[in-house]
Amino acid sequence: MAHRRKASGELPEAVAVEGILRRSRDLPAPRMAEVILIVAILCYVGITILNILSAGVEGRGLAAAMGCLAAVFALQLLHSRPGARHVPAARKALTLGTQALFTYLPLIALKSQWGAMAGFLAGSLLLLLPARLGWTLYGLVGVSMLVPPVLEGRPVLDSVYLVQTTLLTGLVTFGLTRLSELVRVLHESRGELTRAAVTRERLRFARDLHDLLGYSLSAIQLKGELIHRLILAHPAKAKQEVEDVLAISRQSLADVRRVASGYRDMSLEEEIGSARSVLGAAEVKAVTDIRMGPVSPPVDTVLATVLREAVTNVLRHSRAAQCEITAVEVDGLMTLSVTNDGVTEGYRDSSPHSGSGLGNLELRLRAVGGELEVDRGPGNVFRLTARVPAQGALDRDEDRDGSAEDDGARLAA
């Protein structure tokens, strides 16, 4: 299957961030979720007020009932606030005990008209206590509501109704509180995902600039030194080298623009030809063995990047006289090997911030199902070997999920 690239100029991570934000716009804001919870609690309190008024409670009794309702409402808000589960056990025991008092004492005077308030206690037990203990006490609170209708001599159906109402109120309180917390966590996670996406895009940009410009600038530097030596004695050859420098600089500019747009294709065969020219300018003999079959665009791009970094390391970190480049496919496995004979203990590029190219290459190869191997041979031999399936692991992922296109463009870059 041909590997498809985004033709858009948008950065892949920016597209991902925009998708996250677009999907999250349909979620209620944390403040709205909290308002819904408070309104639901107020509705249950309002129903209890209507029950008390319909029972003909007046004067001091009515004032005492309103005070108890206000206390239960405040305690429920305290138990439904974010992080209430993590307060010290002594404080939870104190507030739950106080709520139990304001739940059961008014039952002595108000009986069934006060029964709905037991649902808040049941919900608070679920919110603050461990699951097994919380659900056990939740059930006991519901069963306790069988008593008031019996003491009033009401039918059994009234007892069942009060138990059901209590358990339902507890579940609604528990569920709305947990949903409010979940909405808040989702909104916080959205911010974290956005920041993570931006960080990954910065890393991608830095990695691509290192891999592309390190090679190009090293080549321009070497050819500039060669031109300086040739310009008086061999002006015609110096002119040819100047044309090569211009071509490399134009390619570097194009590469930077492609990095900024978030995608780019590279060819291993073209990079091998470029490597011969650059190594020749550095007076390094290039020996190549190319036996390639068809490879997928992501694998071709990653292998071309590996070759660029390997040649850059030869130019910057060694004094090689010969460099062997081998690209062979056997049974669907591509192997790229770059070997040079110029590694010395005392020589290394002296410029600051010399980079972490090998680490970048490991990430790129891992993204397409490959691996990187670096080893020292006898003498001053240094070998870098990359092995990867010719069609890559990324293409198979795309067959399973079309959304992998954007990731493929990013990882191959």
pLDDT in tens, 273-322: 888 877 877 778 889 988 888 888 888 888 888 888 888 778 776 778 88
Pick the closest to residue 39 from 180, 142, 145, 167 (CA basis): 180
Distance CA 387, CA 372 (A): 7
Give the Cβ contact number of residue 272 at 10 Å. Answer: 20
Q: What are 176-193's pLDDT values in tens digits?
A: 999 988 888 887 776 676
Q: Listing from the earlier edge strand, what are the strands of the sheet with 371-376?
A: 285-291, 322-330, 333-340, 382-389, 371-376
Assess contact for 46 and 193: CB atoms under 8 A.
no
Distances (CA, A) of 202 to 126, 214, 319, 407: 45, 17, 33, 15
Question: In 312-322, which positions are buried (b, 16+ CB within 10 angstroms) versus exposed (e)?
Answer: bbbbbbbebee
Nearest-10 Cα torsion for 230, 213, 382, 293: -100
Q: Is the pLDDT of residue 351 over 50?
A: no
Question: Among candidates 364, 350, 378, which has minimal Cα distance to 308?
Answer: 364
- For 333, other C-beta atoms within 10 Å of its C-beta total 12
Single-letter residue type at 167: L
- Give per-residue pLDDT as tens, 198-236: 666 666 666 666 666 666 777 777 778 788 888 887 888
Q: What is the pLDDT of residues 24-78, one digit of tens each?
A: 555 557 788 888 999 999 998 888 888 888 878 888 888 988 999 999 999 999 9
Phi, psi of 373 (to 5 degrees): -130, 130
pLDDT at 95: 94
Closest by alpha carbon to 408, among 368, 361, 376, 375? 368
Nearest alpha carbon to residue 287 among 313, 314, 322: 322
How much is the pTM?
Answer: 0.50
Cβ(336)–Cβ(268) below 8 Å: yes
pLDDT of residue 400: 40
Please measure the distance between the N-terminal and C-terminal CA atoms of the chain and give it in whole angstroms.
Answer: 19
Please give the pLDDT value at position 122: 94
pLDDT of residue 123 exceeding 80, the answer is: yes
pLDDT bracket for residue 113 (50, 70, 90): confident
- Residue pair 279/311 in contact (Cβ under 8 Å)? The answer is yes
